[in-house]
Protein backbone atom coordinates (compact mmCIF):
# COMPACT_ATOMS: atom_id res chain seq x y z
CA UNK A 1 0.00 0.00 0.00
CA UNK A 2 1.01 3.64 0.15
CA UNK A 3 3.54 5.26 2.35
CA UNK A 4 1.97 7.32 5.11
CA UNK A 5 -1.48 5.87 4.60
CA UNK A 6 -3.28 3.83 7.24
CA UNK A 7 -5.67 1.07 6.19
CA UNK A 8 -8.34 -0.77 8.08
CA UNK A 9 -10.39 -3.75 6.97
CA UNK A 10 -13.83 -4.81 8.11
CA UNK A 11 -16.86 -6.64 6.74
CA UNK A 12 -20.33 -5.13 6.44
CA UNK A 13 -23.35 -6.45 4.52
CA UNK A 14 -21.31 -9.20 2.90
CA UNK A 15 -18.76 -6.68 1.57
CA UNK A 16 -15.11 -6.85 2.62
CA UNK A 17 -13.91 -3.25 2.93
CA UNK A 18 -10.38 -1.86 2.81
CA UNK A 19 -10.57 1.65 4.25
CA UNK A 20 -8.06 4.46 3.84
CA UNK A 21 -7.75 6.52 7.04
CA UNK A 22 -5.02 8.81 5.67
CA UNK A 23 -4.92 12.36 7.10
CA UNK A 24 -7.15 11.25 9.95
CA UNK A 25 -10.26 11.47 7.77
CA UNK A 26 -12.10 8.19 8.25
CA UNK A 27 -15.00 7.61 5.88
CA UNK A 28 -18.56 7.66 7.04
CA UNK A 29 -19.01 4.08 8.18
CA UNK A 30 -22.77 4.46 8.38
CA UNK A 31 -22.89 5.19 4.66
CA UNK A 32 -20.55 2.32 3.83
CA UNK A 33 -22.89 0.01 5.66
CA UNK A 34 -25.76 1.10 3.44
CA UNK A 35 -24.03 0.63 0.09
CA UNK A 36 -25.21 -2.95 -0.32
CA UNK A 37 -28.78 -1.60 -0.27
CA UNK A 38 -28.09 0.03 -3.63
CA UNK A 39 -30.06 -1.61 -6.40
CA UNK A 40 -28.59 -4.30 -8.61
CA UNK A 41 -26.84 -3.27 -11.83
CA UNK A 42 -29.26 -1.99 -14.45
CA UNK A 43 -31.72 -0.46 -11.99
CA UNK A 44 -31.99 2.84 -10.16
CA UNK A 45 -31.40 2.97 -6.40
CA UNK A 46 -34.46 2.48 -4.25
CA UNK A 47 -35.37 5.77 -2.49
CA UNK A 48 -36.86 3.79 0.39
CA UNK A 49 -33.75 1.66 0.93
CA UNK A 50 -31.17 4.39 0.32
CA UNK A 51 -32.69 7.86 0.75
CA UNK A 52 -29.21 9.41 0.61
CA UNK A 53 -28.37 7.90 -2.80
CA UNK A 54 -28.52 9.64 -6.18
CA UNK A 55 -27.70 7.76 -9.36
CA UNK A 56 -25.14 9.95 -11.17
CA UNK A 57 -24.11 7.76 -14.10
CA UNK A 58 -24.84 4.26 -15.30
CA UNK A 59 -23.74 2.08 -18.19
CA UNK A 60 -23.15 -1.60 -18.86
CA UNK A 61 -19.81 -1.48 -17.06
CA UNK A 62 -20.19 0.79 -14.06
CA UNK A 63 -22.77 2.59 -11.93
CA UNK A 64 -21.87 5.73 -9.98
CA UNK A 65 -23.88 6.95 -6.98
CA UNK A 66 -23.60 10.03 -4.80
CA UNK A 67 -24.42 9.31 -1.16
CA UNK A 68 -24.98 12.35 1.01
CA UNK A 69 -26.91 12.33 4.31
CA UNK A 70 -29.62 14.94 4.65
CA UNK A 71 -28.11 18.30 5.62
CA UNK A 72 -24.50 17.18 5.09
CA UNK A 73 -22.12 19.39 3.07
CA UNK A 74 -19.93 16.52 1.93
CA UNK A 75 -20.88 13.17 0.52
CA UNK A 76 -19.14 10.20 -0.99
CA UNK A 77 -19.15 8.82 -4.51
CA UNK A 78 -19.61 5.08 -4.91
CA UNK A 79 -18.60 3.42 -8.17
CA UNK A 80 -20.02 -0.06 -8.56
CA UNK A 81 -18.28 -2.27 -11.12
CA UNK A 82 -20.62 -4.61 -12.96
CA UNK A 83 -19.64 -8.05 -14.26
CA UNK A 84 -20.27 -7.43 -17.95
CA UNK A 85 -18.68 -10.00 -20.29
CA UNK A 86 -16.90 -13.36 -20.39
CA UNK A 87 -13.47 -11.79 -19.77
CA UNK A 88 -14.62 -10.07 -16.59
CA UNK A 89 -16.49 -13.17 -15.44
CA UNK A 90 -13.38 -15.31 -16.01
CA UNK A 91 -11.28 -12.80 -14.06
CA UNK A 92 -13.82 -12.86 -11.24
CA UNK A 93 -13.65 -16.66 -11.10
CA UNK A 94 -9.82 -16.56 -11.08
CA UNK A 95 -9.93 -14.06 -8.21
CA UNK A 96 -12.03 -16.43 -6.13
CA UNK A 97 -9.74 -19.47 -6.57
CA UNK A 98 -6.23 -18.00 -7.00
CA UNK A 99 -4.04 -16.31 -4.37
CA UNK A 100 -4.64 -12.65 -3.62
CA UNK A 101 -2.69 -10.36 -5.96
CA UNK A 102 -2.43 -12.84 -8.85
CA UNK A 103 -4.90 -10.74 -10.84
CA UNK A 104 -5.99 -7.14 -10.45
CA UNK A 105 -9.41 -5.86 -11.42
CA UNK A 106 -10.34 -2.42 -12.76
CA UNK A 107 -11.46 -1.34 -9.29
CA UNK A 108 -8.19 -2.46 -7.71
CA UNK A 109 -6.12 -0.73 -10.41
CA UNK A 110 -8.05 2.51 -10.04
CA UNK A 111 -7.78 2.36 -6.23
CA UNK A 112 -4.02 1.83 -6.38
CA UNK A 113 -3.50 4.56 -9.01
CA UNK A 114 -5.50 7.10 -7.00
CA UNK A 115 -3.37 6.42 -3.93
CA UNK A 116 -0.15 6.63 -5.95
CA UNK A 117 -1.15 9.78 -7.84
CA UNK A 118 -2.15 11.58 -4.64
CA UNK A 119 1.23 10.69 -3.21
CA UNK A 120 2.82 12.38 -6.26
CA UNK A 121 0.75 15.51 -5.73
CA UNK A 122 -1.61 14.98 -8.65
CA UNK A 123 -5.19 16.29 -8.38
CA UNK A 124 -7.43 13.26 -7.90
CA UNK A 125 -10.30 12.69 -5.44
CA UNK A 126 -9.41 11.22 -2.05
CA UNK A 127 -9.93 7.42 -2.22
CA UNK A 128 -11.77 6.33 0.91
CA UNK A 129 -12.52 2.64 0.55
CA UNK A 130 -12.41 -0.39 -1.73
CA UNK A 131 -15.07 -3.05 -1.30
CA UNK A 132 -15.38 -6.60 -2.62
CA UNK A 133 -18.31 -8.97 -2.46
CA UNK A 134 -17.79 -12.55 -3.64
CA UNK A 135 -20.95 -14.41 -4.50
CA UNK A 136 -21.67 -17.34 -6.80
CA UNK A 137 -18.23 -17.33 -8.40
CA UNK A 138 -18.49 -13.64 -9.28
CA UNK A 139 -17.11 -10.49 -7.70
CA UNK A 140 -18.91 -7.18 -7.28
CA UNK A 141 -16.59 -4.30 -6.41
CA UNK A 142 -17.10 -0.82 -4.99
CA UNK A 143 -14.73 2.15 -5.11
CA UNK A 144 -15.58 4.95 -2.68
CA UNK A 145 -14.13 8.47 -3.02
CA UNK A 146 -14.64 11.78 -1.24
CA UNK A 147 -16.91 14.29 -2.97
CA UNK A 148 -15.04 17.36 -4.27
CA UNK A 149 -16.77 20.50 -3.04
CA UNK A 150 -17.82 22.63 -5.99
CA UNK A 151 -16.71 19.96 -8.44
CA UNK A 152 -18.59 19.75 -11.72
CA UNK A 153 -17.88 17.92 -14.98
CA UNK A 154 -15.74 20.27 -17.05
CA UNK A 155 -17.84 19.94 -20.20
CA UNK A 156 -21.03 20.98 -18.40
CA UNK A 157 -19.37 23.67 -16.31
CA UNK A 158 -17.85 25.41 -19.35
CA UNK A 159 -21.25 26.74 -20.38
CA UNK A 160 -22.56 26.97 -16.83
CA UNK A 161 -24.19 29.93 -15.17
CA UNK A 162 -23.91 32.55 -13.81
CA UNK A 163 -20.62 33.04 -15.72
CA UNK A 164 -18.96 30.59 -18.13
CA UNK A 165 -15.36 29.60 -17.55
CA UNK A 166 -12.67 31.78 -19.12
CA UNK A 167 -11.35 29.91 -22.17
CA UNK A 168 -7.73 31.07 -21.92
CA UNK A 169 -7.54 30.29 -18.20
CA UNK A 170 -9.04 26.86 -18.81
CA UNK A 171 -6.60 26.06 -21.63
CA UNK A 172 -3.70 27.08 -19.37
CA UNK A 173 -5.02 24.86 -16.57
CA UNK A 174 -5.38 21.92 -18.98
CA UNK A 175 -1.83 22.46 -20.28
CA UNK A 176 -0.40 22.62 -16.74
CA UNK A 177 -2.31 19.47 -15.73
CA UNK A 178 -1.00 17.62 -18.79
CA UNK A 179 2.59 18.67 -18.12
CA UNK A 180 2.36 17.70 -14.45
CA UNK A 181 0.84 14.34 -15.30
CA UNK A 182 3.51 13.50 -17.86
CA UNK A 183 6.40 14.73 -15.72
CA UNK A 184 5.10 12.39 -13.01
CA UNK A 185 5.49 9.50 -15.51
CA UNK A 186 1.78 8.68 -15.54
CA UNK A 187 0.40 7.31 -18.80
CA UNK A 188 -3.36 7.95 -18.88
CA UNK A 189 -4.71 6.19 -21.94
CA UNK A 190 -8.23 7.63 -21.59
CA UNK A 191 -7.17 11.26 -21.07
CA UNK A 192 -10.18 13.33 -22.13
CA UNK A 193 -12.32 16.27 -21.01
CA UNK A 194 -15.13 13.91 -20.02
CA UNK A 195 -12.91 12.51 -17.25
CA UNK A 196 -12.03 15.88 -15.73
CA UNK A 197 -13.82 17.81 -12.97
CA UNK A 198 -13.45 21.54 -12.39
CA UNK A 199 -13.94 23.27 -9.05
CA UNK A 200 -16.37 26.06 -9.91
CA UNK A 201 -15.98 27.68 -6.49
CA UNK A 202 -12.32 28.60 -7.01
CA UNK A 203 -11.20 31.87 -8.62
CA UNK A 204 -9.05 30.05 -11.17
CA UNK A 205 -9.88 26.67 -12.73
CA UNK A 206 -8.89 23.80 -10.43
CA UNK A 207 -9.00 20.52 -12.33
CA UNK A 208 -9.33 16.96 -10.98
CA UNK A 209 -8.83 13.66 -12.81
CA UNK A 210 -11.45 10.90 -12.74
CA UNK A 211 -11.83 7.35 -14.12
CA UNK A 212 -8.23 6.30 -13.61
CA UNK A 213 -8.58 2.57 -14.36
CA UNK A 214 -6.66 3.15 -17.64
CA UNK A 215 -3.79 4.98 -15.88
CA UNK A 216 -0.38 3.35 -15.56
CA UNK A 217 2.78 4.39 -13.75
CA UNK A 218 5.85 3.98 -15.99
CA UNK A 219 9.57 4.46 -15.49
CA UNK A 220 9.90 6.96 -18.33
CA UNK A 221 7.07 8.28 -20.45
CA UNK A 222 7.95 7.81 -24.12
CA UNK A 223 7.27 10.49 -26.71
CA UNK A 224 4.69 8.30 -28.47
CA UNK A 225 2.81 7.94 -25.16
CA UNK A 226 2.88 11.71 -24.67
CA UNK A 227 1.57 12.24 -28.19
CA UNK A 228 -1.20 9.69 -27.59
CA UNK A 229 -2.35 11.50 -24.43
CA UNK A 230 -2.32 14.85 -26.24
CA UNK A 231 -4.20 13.44 -29.23
CA UNK A 232 -6.79 11.78 -27.00
CA UNK A 233 -7.36 15.05 -25.16
CA UNK A 234 -7.64 17.09 -28.37
CA UNK A 235 -10.11 14.58 -29.78
CA UNK A 236 -12.42 15.41 -26.86
CA UNK A 237 -12.16 19.20 -27.40
CA UNK A 238 -15.03 19.27 -29.91
CA UNK A 239 -17.46 21.05 -29.56
CA UNK A 240 -16.10 23.16 -26.66
CA UNK A 241 -12.93 24.28 -28.44
CA UNK A 242 -12.16 24.87 -32.12
CA UNK A 243 -8.97 24.23 -34.12
CA UNK A 244 -7.40 27.54 -33.02
CA UNK A 245 -7.97 26.58 -29.38
CA UNK A 246 -6.25 23.25 -30.05
CA UNK A 247 -3.19 25.05 -31.41
CA UNK A 248 -3.20 27.42 -28.45
CA UNK A 249 -3.33 24.48 -26.03
CA UNK A 250 -0.33 22.83 -27.71
CA UNK A 251 1.62 26.11 -27.50
CA UNK A 252 0.86 26.39 -23.78
CA UNK A 253 1.77 22.74 -23.23
CA UNK A 254 5.07 23.13 -25.11
CA UNK A 255 6.21 25.83 -22.66
CA UNK A 256 6.59 23.18 -19.98
CA UNK A 257 7.91 20.35 -22.18
CA UNK A 258 11.27 21.22 -23.81
CA UNK A 259 11.45 17.95 -25.80
CA UNK A 260 8.10 18.75 -27.44
CA UNK A 261 9.00 22.43 -27.95
CA UNK A 262 12.31 21.62 -29.70
CA UNK A 263 10.42 20.21 -32.71
CA UNK A 264 7.09 21.87 -32.11
CA UNK A 265 5.66 21.88 -35.65
CA UNK A 266 6.61 18.26 -36.32
CA UNK A 267 5.22 17.07 -32.99
CA UNK A 268 2.07 19.20 -33.30
CA UNK A 269 1.35 17.68 -36.73
CA UNK A 270 1.78 14.19 -35.27
CA UNK A 271 -0.66 15.01 -32.47
CA UNK A 272 -3.28 16.44 -34.84
CA UNK A 273 -2.97 13.51 -37.26
CA UNK A 274 -3.33 10.98 -34.44
CA UNK A 275 -6.29 12.90 -32.97
CA UNK A 276 -8.04 12.66 -36.35
CA UNK A 277 -7.37 8.90 -36.53
CA UNK A 278 -8.67 8.41 -32.99
CA UNK A 279 -11.78 10.37 -33.88
CA UNK A 280 -12.48 8.32 -37.00
CA UNK A 281 -11.94 5.04 -35.14
CA UNK A 282 -14.20 6.19 -32.32
CA UNK A 283 -16.96 7.23 -34.73
CA UNK A 284 -16.75 3.93 -36.63
CA UNK A 285 -17.13 2.09 -33.34
CA UNK A 286 -20.11 4.24 -32.30
CA UNK A 287 -21.71 3.73 -35.70
CA UNK A 288 -21.62 -0.07 -35.36
CA UNK A 289 -22.62 -0.02 -31.70
CA UNK A 290 -26.30 -0.14 -32.69
CA UNK A 291 -25.74 -3.71 -33.96
CA UNK A 292 -24.62 -5.12 -30.60
CA UNK A 293 -25.64 -5.13 -26.96
CA UNK A 294 -24.37 -1.94 -25.38
CA UNK A 295 -25.28 0.76 -22.89
CA UNK A 296 -27.64 2.41 -25.38
CA UNK A 297 -28.83 -0.53 -27.49
CA UNK A 298 -30.49 -3.91 -26.96
CA UNK A 299 -30.99 -6.93 -29.25
CA UNK A 300 -33.92 -9.33 -28.88
CA UNK A 301 -35.55 -12.23 -30.74
CA UNK A 302 -39.33 -12.63 -30.89
CA UNK A 303 -40.64 -15.53 -32.99
CA UNK A 304 -39.32 -14.86 -36.51
CA UNK A 305 -38.42 -11.23 -35.74
CA UNK A 306 -35.03 -9.89 -34.71
CA UNK A 307 -35.20 -6.52 -32.98
CA UNK A 308 -32.43 -3.94 -32.61
CA UNK A 309 -33.62 -1.07 -30.45
CA UNK A 310 -32.57 1.79 -28.28
CA UNK A 311 -32.94 0.82 -24.63
CA UNK A 312 -35.28 3.75 -23.96
CA UNK A 313 -37.64 2.50 -26.71
CA UNK A 314 -39.45 -0.55 -25.35
CA UNK A 315 -40.38 -3.77 -27.15
CA UNK A 316 -43.96 -3.25 -26.01
CA UNK A 317 -44.13 0.08 -27.86
CA UNK A 318 -42.54 -1.46 -30.96
CA UNK A 319 -45.19 -4.16 -31.27
CA UNK A 320 -47.97 -1.69 -30.54
CA UNK A 321 -46.75 0.53 -33.40
CA UNK A 322 -46.51 -2.45 -35.76
CA UNK A 323 -50.09 -3.43 -34.87
CA UNK A 324 -51.23 0.15 -35.46
CA UNK A 325 -49.43 0.03 -38.80
CA UNK A 326 -51.28 -3.14 -39.85
CA UNK A 327 -54.59 -1.66 -38.67
CA UNK A 328 -53.98 1.49 -40.71
CA UNK A 329 -53.39 -0.61 -43.84
CA UNK A 330 -56.68 -2.43 -43.35
CA UNK A 331 -58.48 0.86 -42.81
CA UNK A 332 -56.98 2.15 -46.04
CA UNK A 333 -55.39 5.28 -44.57
CA UNK A 334 -53.01 7.11 -46.89
CA UNK A 335 -49.24 6.78 -46.71
CA UNK A 336 -46.79 9.65 -46.50
CA UNK A 337 -44.74 7.96 -49.21
CA UNK A 338 -45.02 4.65 -51.08
CA UNK A 339 -42.75 2.98 -53.66
CA UNK A 340 -42.38 -0.52 -55.08
CA UNK A 341 -40.10 -1.49 -52.18
CA UNK A 342 -41.07 0.74 -49.23
CA UNK A 343 -44.00 2.37 -47.53
CA UNK A 344 -43.92 5.24 -45.00
CA UNK A 345 -46.47 6.07 -42.33
CA UNK A 346 -46.56 8.43 -39.34
CA UNK A 347 -48.13 6.92 -36.20
CA UNK A 348 -48.72 8.12 -32.65
CA UNK A 349 -46.31 6.59 -30.13
CA UNK A 350 -46.06 6.80 -26.34
CA UNK A 351 -43.60 9.74 -26.50
CA UNK A 352 -44.84 11.40 -29.67
CA UNK A 353 -45.15 10.72 -33.37
CA UNK A 354 -43.09 7.90 -34.87
CA UNK A 355 -42.18 7.33 -38.51
CA UNK A 356 -42.63 3.67 -39.54
CA UNK A 357 -40.84 2.72 -42.77
CA UNK A 358 -41.78 -0.69 -44.14
CA UNK A 359 -39.29 -2.52 -46.37
CA UNK A 360 -40.04 -5.76 -48.23
CA UNK A 361 -38.31 -8.13 -50.65
CA UNK A 362 -39.29 -7.81 -54.30
CA UNK A 363 -36.95 -10.42 -55.73
CA UNK A 364 -34.37 -13.06 -54.88
CA UNK A 365 -31.57 -10.47 -54.72
CA UNK A 366 -33.37 -8.53 -51.97
CA UNK A 367 -33.87 -11.79 -50.07
CA UNK A 368 -30.18 -12.74 -50.39
CA UNK A 369 -29.08 -9.28 -49.25
CA UNK A 370 -31.25 -9.69 -46.16
CA UNK A 371 -29.69 -13.08 -45.38
CA UNK A 372 -26.14 -11.68 -45.41
CA UNK A 373 -27.02 -8.50 -43.47
CA UNK A 374 -26.96 -6.08 -46.40
CA UNK A 375 -30.64 -5.16 -46.49
CA UNK A 376 -31.65 -1.55 -47.12
CA UNK A 377 -33.42 -1.45 -43.74
CA UNK A 378 -30.30 -2.51 -41.82
CA UNK A 379 -28.16 -0.09 -43.80
CA UNK A 380 -30.56 2.75 -42.98
CA UNK A 381 -30.50 1.76 -39.27
CA UNK A 382 -26.70 1.82 -39.13
CA UNK A 383 -26.35 5.02 -41.17
CA UNK A 384 -29.02 6.84 -39.16
CA UNK A 385 -27.23 6.06 -35.91
CA UNK A 386 -23.93 7.00 -37.55
CA UNK A 387 -25.31 10.43 -38.43
CA UNK A 388 -26.50 10.89 -34.84
CA UNK A 389 -23.05 9.89 -33.53
CA UNK A 390 -21.45 12.49 -35.80
CA UNK A 391 -23.77 15.27 -34.68
CA UNK A 392 -25.58 15.53 -38.02
CA UNK A 393 -29.25 16.50 -37.60
CA UNK A 394 -31.49 13.65 -38.75
CA UNK A 395 -34.52 11.63 -37.67
CA UNK A 396 -33.36 9.71 -34.57
CA UNK A 397 -33.66 5.95 -35.31
CA UNK A 398 -35.51 4.11 -32.53
CA UNK A 399 -35.63 0.48 -33.65
CA UNK A 400 -35.05 -1.97 -36.49
CA UNK A 401 -37.36 -4.99 -36.75
CA UNK A 402 -36.14 -7.63 -39.21
CA UNK A 403 -38.10 -10.59 -40.54
CA UNK A 404 -37.33 -13.19 -43.23
CA UNK A 405 -38.89 -11.18 -46.07
CA UNK A 406 -39.65 -7.75 -44.62
CA UNK A 407 -38.33 -5.21 -42.14
CA UNK A 408 -39.46 -2.09 -40.31
CA UNK A 409 -37.40 0.96 -39.38
CA UNK A 410 -38.92 3.08 -36.60
CA UNK A 411 -37.62 6.61 -36.14
CA UNK A 412 -38.54 10.03 -34.81
CA UNK A 413 -41.14 11.76 -36.98
CA UNK A 414 -39.98 15.31 -37.72
CA UNK A 415 -43.49 16.70 -37.90
CA UNK A 416 -42.42 20.29 -37.20
CA UNK A 417 -40.24 20.33 -40.32
CA UNK A 418 -41.06 20.71 -44.00
CA UNK A 419 -39.32 19.58 -47.15
CA UNK A 420 -36.76 22.11 -48.29
CA UNK A 421 -38.32 22.49 -51.75
CA UNK A 422 -41.81 22.98 -50.29
CA UNK A 423 -40.49 25.46 -47.73
CA UNK A 424 -38.87 27.55 -50.48
CA UNK A 425 -42.01 27.60 -52.63
CA UNK A 426 -44.26 28.46 -49.71
CA UNK A 427 -42.12 31.36 -48.50
CA UNK A 428 -40.02 32.75 -51.35
CA UNK A 429 -42.07 32.51 -54.54
CA UNK A 430 -42.91 35.62 -56.51
CA UNK A 431 -42.01 39.24 -55.77
CA UNK A 432 -40.50 39.56 -52.29
CA UNK A 433 -40.37 42.51 -49.93
CA UNK A 434 -36.90 43.50 -48.61
CA UNK A 435 -37.28 41.58 -45.32
CA UNK A 436 -38.36 38.36 -47.05
CA UNK A 437 -35.61 38.72 -49.65
CA UNK A 438 -33.03 39.01 -46.86
CA UNK A 439 -34.57 35.98 -45.18
CA UNK A 440 -34.14 34.01 -48.41
CA UNK A 441 -30.48 35.04 -48.63
CA UNK A 442 -29.96 33.92 -45.03
CA UNK A 443 -31.54 30.54 -45.84
CA UNK A 444 -29.19 30.05 -48.80
CA UNK A 445 -26.14 30.89 -46.67
CA UNK A 446 -27.27 28.55 -43.87
CA UNK A 447 -27.84 25.72 -46.36
CA UNK A 448 -24.40 26.23 -47.92
CA UNK A 449 -22.77 26.07 -44.49
CA UNK A 450 -24.70 22.90 -43.62
CA UNK A 451 -23.57 21.15 -46.82
CA UNK A 452 -19.99 22.33 -46.32
CA UNK A 453 -19.99 21.05 -42.73
CA UNK A 454 -21.27 17.69 -43.96
CA UNK A 455 -18.38 17.44 -46.42
CA UNK A 456 -15.84 18.68 -43.87
CA UNK A 457 -16.91 15.74 -41.69
CA UNK A 458 -16.14 13.42 -44.62
CA UNK A 459 -19.80 12.50 -45.07
CA UNK A 460 -21.14 12.05 -48.58
CA UNK A 461 -24.88 11.82 -49.35
CA UNK A 462 -25.33 10.12 -52.70
CA UNK A 463 -28.87 11.49 -53.13
CA UNK A 464 -28.70 15.04 -51.80
CA UNK A 465 -31.86 16.36 -53.42
CA UNK A 466 -34.03 19.05 -51.85
CA UNK A 467 -36.78 16.49 -51.19
CA UNK A 468 -34.34 14.56 -48.96
CA UNK A 469 -33.66 17.57 -46.75
CA UNK A 470 -36.11 18.75 -44.11
CA UNK A 471 -35.88 22.30 -42.81
CA UNK A 472 -36.96 23.78 -39.50
CA UNK A 473 -37.09 27.53 -39.01
CA UNK A 474 -35.56 28.35 -35.64
CA UNK A 475 -36.58 31.18 -33.29
CA UNK A 476 -35.01 34.55 -34.07
CA UNK A 477 -32.79 34.29 -30.99
CA UNK A 478 -31.23 31.01 -32.21
CA UNK A 479 -27.99 31.22 -34.24
CA UNK A 480 -28.15 30.15 -37.87
CA UNK A 481 -31.86 30.71 -38.41
CA UNK A 482 -32.53 27.23 -39.81
CA UNK A 483 -31.85 23.62 -38.97
CA UNK A 484 -31.51 21.11 -41.81
CA UNK A 485 -32.22 17.39 -41.35
CA UNK A 486 -31.07 14.60 -43.68
CA UNK A 487 -33.62 11.92 -44.54
CA UNK A 488 -33.60 8.95 -46.95
CA UNK A 489 -29.96 8.38 -46.06
CA UNK A 490 -29.54 4.87 -47.54
CA UNK A 491 -26.81 6.21 -49.86
CA UNK A 492 -24.80 8.07 -47.21
CA UNK A 493 -21.11 7.14 -46.98
CA UNK A 494 -18.91 7.90 -43.95
CA UNK A 495 -15.16 8.57 -43.71
CA UNK A 496 -14.91 8.98 -47.45
CA UNK A 497 -12.80 11.34 -49.51
CA UNK A 498 -14.99 14.19 -50.72
CA UNK A 499 -13.51 14.49 -54.18
CA UNK A 500 -14.17 17.33 -56.60
CA UNK A 501 -16.47 15.01 -58.52
CA UNK A 502 -18.54 14.24 -55.41
CA UNK A 503 -18.82 17.90 -54.48
CA UNK A 504 -19.97 18.71 -57.99
CA UNK A 505 -22.49 15.85 -57.94
CA UNK A 506 -24.08 17.13 -54.72
CA UNK A 507 -24.22 20.62 -56.20
CA UNK A 508 -25.89 19.24 -59.33
CA UNK A 509 -28.44 17.29 -57.27
CA UNK A 510 -29.42 20.43 -55.38
CA UNK A 511 -29.29 22.56 -58.53
CA UNK A 512 -31.79 20.27 -60.30
CA UNK A 513 -34.15 19.88 -57.33
CA UNK A 514 -34.25 23.38 -55.81
CA UNK A 515 -37.29 25.36 -57.08
CA UNK A 516 -36.47 27.97 -59.71
CA UNK A 517 -37.60 30.85 -57.52
CA UNK A 518 -34.07 30.44 -56.19
CA UNK A 519 -32.45 32.48 -58.96
CA UNK A 520 -28.96 32.62 -60.38
CA UNK A 521 -27.78 35.18 -57.81
CA UNK A 522 -28.98 32.91 -54.98
CA UNK A 523 -27.20 29.91 -56.47
CA UNK A 524 -23.96 31.86 -56.83
CA UNK A 525 -24.34 33.03 -53.23
CA UNK A 526 -24.61 29.36 -52.21
CA UNK A 527 -21.40 28.57 -54.12
CA UNK A 528 -19.44 31.47 -52.59
CA UNK A 529 -20.44 30.55 -49.04
CA UNK A 530 -19.76 26.85 -49.54
CA UNK A 531 -16.38 27.31 -51.25
CA UNK A 532 -14.77 29.62 -48.66
CA UNK A 533 -11.20 28.45 -48.04
CA UNK A 534 -11.45 25.43 -50.37
CA UNK A 535 -9.42 26.91 -53.22
CA UNK A 536 -11.79 25.66 -55.91
CA UNK A 537 -11.33 26.80 -59.50
CA UNK A 538 -14.66 28.56 -59.91
CA UNK A 539 -15.08 28.24 -63.68
CA UNK A 540 -13.91 24.63 -63.82
CA UNK A 541 -16.03 23.55 -60.86
CA UNK A 542 -19.24 25.23 -62.05
CA UNK A 543 -18.72 23.82 -65.54
CA UNK A 544 -18.57 20.33 -63.99
CA UNK A 545 -21.73 21.05 -61.98
CA UNK A 546 -23.61 22.06 -65.14
CA UNK A 547 -22.38 18.95 -66.96
CA UNK A 548 -23.67 16.74 -64.13
CA UNK A 549 -26.92 18.72 -63.94
CA UNK A 550 -27.61 18.08 -67.63
CA UNK A 551 -27.78 14.35 -66.88
CA UNK A 552 -30.29 14.76 -64.07
CA UNK A 553 -34.04 15.10 -64.37
CA UNK A 554 -35.16 18.48 -62.98
CA UNK A 555 -37.75 18.23 -60.22
CA UNK A 556 -40.70 20.29 -61.49
CA UNK A 557 -42.63 21.63 -58.50
CA UNK A 558 -46.35 22.21 -58.67
CA UNK A 559 -47.44 25.64 -57.40
CA UNK A 560 -48.59 25.48 -53.78
CA UNK A 561 -51.88 27.25 -53.32
279 and 207 in one domain? yes
Boundary-marking domain end, from 243, 268, 290:
290
Within its chain, how far is the Cα of 470 from the centroid?
23
361 and 281 in one domain? no
Per the structure, the count of domains in the chain is: 4
- For residues 175 and 170, what is the distance between their CA atoms, to the nearest angstrom? 9
Residue 337 belongs to some domain of the structure: yes
Domain with 380 in it: what CATH number? 3.30.200
Q: What are phi and psi of 192, to 5 degrees?
A: -150, 160
- For residues 498 and 157, what is the distance between their CA atoms, to the nearest angstrom? 36
- C-alpha dihedral (272, 278, 281, 284), degrees to nearest 10: -80
- C-alpha dihedral (338, 344, 347, 353), degrees to nearest 10: -130
Residue 157 belongs to some domain of the structure: yes
Residue 561 belongs to some domain of the structure: no
Residue 400 belongs to some domain of the structure: yes
- For residues 236 and 387, what is the distance between their CA atoms, to the nearest angstrom? 18
324 and 274 in one domain? no
Q: pLDDT tens track of the chain, all 561 residues?
A: 555 567 878 887 778 888 887 644 445 555 565 666 554 444 555 554 555 678 888 877 788 888 877 666 778 888 988 765 555 556 656 655 555 555 678 888 999 999 999 999 999 999 988 988 877 667 788 899 988 888 888 887 766 645 567 889 999 999 999 999 999 999 999 999 999 999 877 778 889 999 998 899 999 999 999 999 999 999 998 878 888 999 999 999 999 999 899 999 999 999 999 999 999 999 999 999 999 988 889 999 998 899 999 999 999 999 999 999 998 888 776 667 777 788 889 999 888 899 999 988 877 776 676 666 678 889 999 999 999 999 999 999 999 999 888 899 999 999 889 999 999 999 998 888 999 999 999 999 999 999 999 999 999 999 999 999 999 988 765 556 889 999 888 889 998 889 999 999 999 999 999 988 899 999 999 999 999 999 899 999 999 999 998 887 665 554 433
538 and 469 in one domain? yes
- For residues 529 and 525, what is the distance between their CA atoms, to the nearest angstrom? 6
- For residues 53 and 80, what is the distance between their CA atoms, to the nearest angstrom? 13
Beta bridge partners of 538: none
Among residues 187, 183, 186, 205, which one has the least CA distance to residue 196? 205
How do strand 151-153 and strand 62-67 relate by DSSP bridges?
A: unpaired
- For residues 283 and 332, what is the distance between their CA atoms, to the nearest angstrom? 42
Residue 15 belongs to some domain of the structure: yes
498 and 436 in one domain? yes
Domain with 488 in it: what CATH number? 3.90.1200.10
Dmax (CA) of the chain: 85
361 and 260 in one domain? no
77 and 135 in one domain? yes
Among residues 519, 515, 516, 509, which one has the least CA distance to residue 553? 509
Boundary-marking domain end, from 87, 115, 146:
146
Does residue 11 sit in helix, strand or coil? strand
pLDDT tens-digit series, residues 280-309: 999 999 999 999 988 889 999 998 899 999
- For residues 156 and 137, what is the distance between their CA atoms, to the nearest angstrom? 40
Residue 216 belongs to some domain of the structure: yes
Boundary-marking domain end, from 146, 173, 195:
146
136 and 23 in one domain? yes
Residue 555 belongs to some domain of the structure: no
432 and 362 in one domain? no
Q: Which domain holds residue 134?
A: 7-146
How many angstroms separate the Cα of 508 from the Cα of each of 208, 345, 392, 549, 552? 51, 30, 22, 5, 8
Residues across the chain: 561
305 and 270 in one domain? no
200 and 116 in one domain? no
pLDDT tens-digit series, residues 353-390: 999 999 888 777 766 766 666 788 899 999 999 999 99
Q: Classify residue 140 by burial, with Cβ atoms within 10 Å: 0-12, 13-18, 19+.
A: buried
362 and 404 in one domain? yes
Residue 330 belongs to some domain of the structure: yes
Amino acid sequence: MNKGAEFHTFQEGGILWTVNEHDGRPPQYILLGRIEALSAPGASPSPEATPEATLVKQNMYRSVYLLRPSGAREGIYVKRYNTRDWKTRLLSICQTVLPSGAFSTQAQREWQMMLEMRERGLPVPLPLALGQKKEGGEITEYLVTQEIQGGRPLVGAYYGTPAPLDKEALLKALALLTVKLQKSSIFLRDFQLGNILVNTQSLRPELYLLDLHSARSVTTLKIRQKIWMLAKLLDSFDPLFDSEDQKRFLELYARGMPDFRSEFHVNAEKVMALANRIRRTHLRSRTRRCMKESTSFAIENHDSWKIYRRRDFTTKEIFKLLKDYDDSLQEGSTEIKSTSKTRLKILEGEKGKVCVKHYWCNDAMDYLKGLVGLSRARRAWVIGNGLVARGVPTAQPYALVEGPEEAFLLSLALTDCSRLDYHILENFRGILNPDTAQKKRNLIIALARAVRLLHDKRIYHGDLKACNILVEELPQSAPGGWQFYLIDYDRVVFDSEISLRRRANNFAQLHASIPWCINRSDRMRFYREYSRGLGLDKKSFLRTVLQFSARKIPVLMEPIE
